[in-house]
Amino acid sequence: MMRLSTVRTRKPQASDDGLTEDSEVIAKRKGFLSTCYWTTPGDGKVQLCPGFDVYVYQQSLTDFRQQFGPLGARGAASASCWSKYSATLLAYLSGGWDVVIKDRRPSQGHRAILGPDVFRAVAGHIKELFGVENDMEHPVNRVRLAWSNSVSQVRPKTKSCLADSHAEKSQVFSEYLATCYWKTPGADKIPLHPGFEIYVYPAILEDLKTHYGPGTPHYGKDGWGRYASRLFVNLVGGWDNLMKYERPNVSIGRMMEGDFFYAMLGHLRELFKTKMTKREFAATLEGIFMHFRRYQYLPEPRAEAETEAQVDDCRQPETQRRQSVANTEPANVSPNKGSALSLLEPIGMYEGPCGDRGGG
């Protein structure tokens, strides 16, 4: 069984694969593992692989399997997709891609933080799920190599995103998200999806289910898009906040943490009983928000507008003008505990990308 290593000496210790670990690395691993939910069994958790103390939420594994499993949403019907699955699982166990990318030596460093037993557990899980016993002569090394390659591919993309000309806005948005109400648990909140630290008020979800959930008048083909867009807007603080921080030529998916999207994906799959990837989910939101920005939030000024005041007035939708007196800066607004619709109503007043009212 996997044990948390203790610090006894500065003398380096040799691991099974020849790498050495000193007491600083062991202490860092111990501190990291003490914060991980998956080191102990509990309700809703399953043992990742017999013989190892790695207990992951069953729903999280189901989500990963639907996306990257042998017959997942990406349509990969062969064992060749196990590397993507393993990289996603290891990133999840590490605390998300943002945590991985911040490490200066992600391939070796996060292997040291997770510990070799975690890689053995993942390798055993991969062998059982994908049936690749004959294709993996040294499964642990293959999993570690796949992990290293995945990190190498993700790192430059992330650095490029941070280095673009709009990085300052992204940083400000990240700082804003760090203060959002759903970042911390509470007695009056529930997890959006098991395994993710996103806690929302039940009243918000009930409002959304009542108006845009399965079986409602708004529901139809791709009906989950209406529900998802309103939930997303609520979590980021309202339309004004989203429009203020949304950056041209940068996707919604790159503005938010990966865990944020995976939590929403898990919630949507459970509620709507449908399969979708993060890319499909983000693309749907992109279409809805682009339509809102173009045709409702900032429509083209009328030709007769001559003064700056008239131009500004033309840019503001009629419904926004009627409510402008009561509106305040979204960052200073309460978390909208009672209802989700006060932040989300505007999207229902234009023809959505699917051709029917409400967007989605």
Which pLDDT tens digit goes with each residue over 139-148?
A: 677 777 777 7
Cα torsion through 55, 56, 59, 65, rounded to 10: -120
Range from 60-64, 163-167, 214-218, 306-310 carrying the lowest mean pLDDT: 163-167
pLDDT band for 206, please (50, 70, 90 cuts). Answer: very high
State the pLDDT at residue 251.
62
Mean model confidence pLDDT for the chain: 67
| DSSP state letter for 7 | -
In this predicted structure, the answer to whether residue 318 has a pLDDT above a threshold of 80 is no
Q: How far apart are the first and last CA of the chain?
A: 47
pLDDT, greater one: 7 or 261: 261
Tokens read off for 166: 């709009």
Distance CA 121, CA 51 (A): 8
Which pLDDT tens digit goes with each residue over 157-194?
A: 555 444 444 444 456 666 777 788 888 888 999 999 88
pTM: 0.47
Give the strand pairing for 20-21 and 45-47: unpaired
- Give the C-alpha distances (Å, rounded to integers) separating 32 from 58, 61, 110, 162: 22, 21, 10, 26
State the pLDDT at residue 280.
77
pLDDT band for 257, please (50, 70, 90 cuts). Answer: low
The radius of gyration computed from the CA coordinates of the chain, to the nearest angstrom, equals 23
In this predicted structure, the answer to whether residue 268 has a pLDDT above a threshold of 80 is yes
In this predicted structure, the answer to whether residue 234 has a pLDDT above a threshold of 80 is yes
Distance CA 44, CA 21 (A): 34
State the pLDDT at residue 103.
58
Decide: 171 and 164 in contact? Cβ < 8 Å: no
In this predicted structure, the answer to whether residue 348 has a pLDDT above a threshold of 60 is no
Which pLDDT tens digit goes with each residue over 8-57?
A: 333 444 444 444 456 666 777 777 777 788 888 888 889 998 888 899 88
How much is the average pLDDT of 251-280?
77
CB atoms under 10 Å from CB of 82, counted, come to 27
pLDDT, greater one: 122 or 246: 122
pLDDT band for 201, please (50, 70, 90 cuts). Answer: very high
Distance CA 209, CA 140 (A): 44
State the pLDDT at residue 188.
92
Distance CA 325, CA 318 (A): 13
Which pLDDT tens digit goes with each residue over 86-115?
A: 888 888 887 777 666 665 554 454 456 677
C-alpha of 77 from chain center? 25
Decide: 46 and 56 in contact? Cβ < 8 Å: yes
* pLDDT above 70: percentage of residues in the chain: 52
How much is the average pLDDT of 226-247?
81
pLDDT band for 321, please (50, 70, 90 cuts). Answer: very low
> Phi, psi at residue 119, to the nearest 5°?
-65, -35
pLDDT, greater one: 42 or 275: 42
Decide: 255 and 316 in contact? Cβ < 8 Å: no
